[in-house]
A and B are shown apart, each in its own frame.
Chain A
Amino acid sequence: MTDILSYNGGTIVAMAGDRCVAIASDRRLGVQYTTIATDMTRVFKMHDRLLLGLTGLATDLTTLRNLFNFRLNLYKMREGRLIKPKTFANLVSSTLYAKRFGPYFCEPVIAGLDDEGNPFLCAMDLLGASSNDDSFVVCGTSAESLLGTCETFYQPGLGPDDLFETISQCLLSALDRDCLSGWGAEVYILTPSGITHKTLKARMD
């Protein structure tokens, strides 16, 4: 149990296009080198224009998802509106930092569209240090590989279909080089008209 963040494995990448965002993840759930499930969901819909992807320790993933649903339901009832992606990013950041000396072992990726339909991307470490980007953000056990593949293939201003192709290729190449991530992949594409979900045919190892 040397590295808690890679105990269960898992990887997420998110990319921005022209008035759209895509977020993709693998589907492996492991216990160190043993794979125990291939249908793990890491990306969660927080509302129609906001997706949250979580990498790291699986139990903290589940807990954080439940916790953010709790907070967002209350937010929606009190404020009578949906939370903006950047506001949600701040909520995630402060929630993680509140556990500064006993953290959640989770590194989130937030992908959303703001009220004008412009993309919002954000990745964080387990203590809530966030990095916003206009292009792409990555988290998980194949993060370093993904930075390479994204840097190579990414172009700004892609439409939803091209963005889907690009993000899929970036993810699949990176997954092939990581034994702790893989066993299937899925992509969510978020546009002002809605969320599309696609499963990728990947190497099942």
Chain B
Amino acid sequence: MARRYDTRTTIFSPEGRLYQVEYAMEAIGHAGAAVGVLSSEGVVLAAEKKITSKLLEVSKSSEKMYVIDEHVACAVAGITADANILITKSRVSAQQYLYRYQEPIPVEQIVKMAGNDMQAYTQFGGLRPFGVAFIYAGWDVHYGYQLYQTDPSGNYGGWKATAIGANSPAAHSILKSD
């Protein structure tokens, strides 16, 4: 049944699902895990770097963690090439905000902008969604320390603790019990 409704991103299935978005989430479930925890004193991000080959050269840059601006960083789970595009967009958006308002971008704003970019690929253009989920960690004067998670649908939520990538349901239940 799903076959008829899953080859195009821009159509719903009869059950009201967007299959391409769900398949993107499948791709993320195969990637290295990332976890974030929020406290009143700070936010912590941790990410698992999966070693795909011993032949790979040690890289100075990380494929799991990125700085978006001085006060916001994020962890990635999913297709690294897709993540690079969104990270670059987020970095430029953060600088444009800083240029325009001479204030650092509030954390939720940058998350929302990234979410909006991802949503566009679920509704327009016939292009596939991004196969990445992010956990954003940051601080601003408005709400202090914050933790957010995004997914290929473009939805985002604020979390006290969360996990993405491989075994994230298991990580979630551990975090919930603690």
A1 at the interface (CB under 8 A from B): no
List CB contacts (< 8 Å) of A47-89 with chain B.
66-67, 69-70, 73-74, 77-78, 80
**B67 partner residues in chain A, CB cutoff 8 A:** 77
Does A74 contact B91, Cβ atoms closer than 8 Å? Answer: yes
Does A74 contact B95, Cβ atoms closer than 8 Å? Answer: yes
We find that the number of chain B residues with CB closer than 8 angstroms to chain A is 15
A27 to B73, CA, bound (A): 38
B92 at the interface (CB under 8 A from A): yes
Does B99 contact A66, Cβ atoms closer than 8 Å? Answer: yes
B40 at the interface (CB under 8 A from A): no
B53 at the interface (CB under 8 A from A): no
Does B60 contact A80, Cβ atoms closer than 8 Å? Answer: yes
Answer whether A67 and B60 are a contact pair too, CB < 8 Å, given A73-B69, A77-B67: no
Q: Shortest Cβ distance from B34 into chain A, in angstroms?
A: 19
Does B95 contact A73, Cβ atoms closer than 8 Å? Answer: yes
**B88 partner residues in chain A, CB cutoff 8 A:** 78
* Proximity string of chain B (77-113) to chain A, C-beta cutoff 8 Å, 1 when within and 0 when not: 0000000000010011001101100100000000000
A70 to B61, CA, bound (A): 21
A67 to B96, CA, bound (A): 9
Does B60 contact A70, Cβ atoms closer than 8 Å? Answer: no
Closest residue of chain A to B94, judged by CB?
Answer: A73
Residue with the highest number of chain A CB atoms closer than 10 Å, among B91, B95, B98: B95
A64 to B99, CA, bound (A): 10
A67 to B102, CA, bound (A): 11
Does B91 contact A80, Cβ atoms closer than 8 Å? Answer: no
Does A80 contact B95, Cβ atoms closer than 8 Å? Answer: no
Does B99 contact A74, Cβ atoms closer than 8 Å? Answer: no
Does A70 contact B99, Cβ atoms closer than 8 Å? Answer: yes
In-complex Cβ contact of B102 among A66, A73, A74, A77 (8 A): A66
A150 to B96, CA, bound (A): 40
A26 to B61, CA, bound (A): 42
Answer whether A69 and B98 are a contact pair too, CB < 8 Å, given A74-B91, A74-B92, A77-B91: yes
Q: Shortest Cβ distance from A67 into chain B, in angstroms?
A: 7
A77 to B88, CA, bound (A): 9
List CB contacts (< 8 Å) of B105-148 with chain A.
none
A90 to B102, CA, bound (A): 25
Q: Shortest Cβ distance from B98 into chain A, in angstroms?
A: 7
Q: Shortest Cβ distance from B5 into chain A, in angstroms?
A: 39
Q: Closest 6 interchain pairs by CB?
A: A70-B95, A70-B99, A66-B99, A77-B67, A77-B91, A73-B95
17 contacts between A and B (CB under 8 A): A66-B99, A66-B102, A67-B99, A69-B98, A70-B99, A73-B69, A73-B91, A73-B95, A74-B91, A74-B92, A74-B95, A77-B66, A77-B68, A77-B91, A78-B88, A78-B91, A80-B60
- What 5 new A-B contacts, CB under 8 Å, besides A67-B99, A77-B67, A78-B88? A70-B98, A73-B70, A77-B66, A77-B68, A78-B91
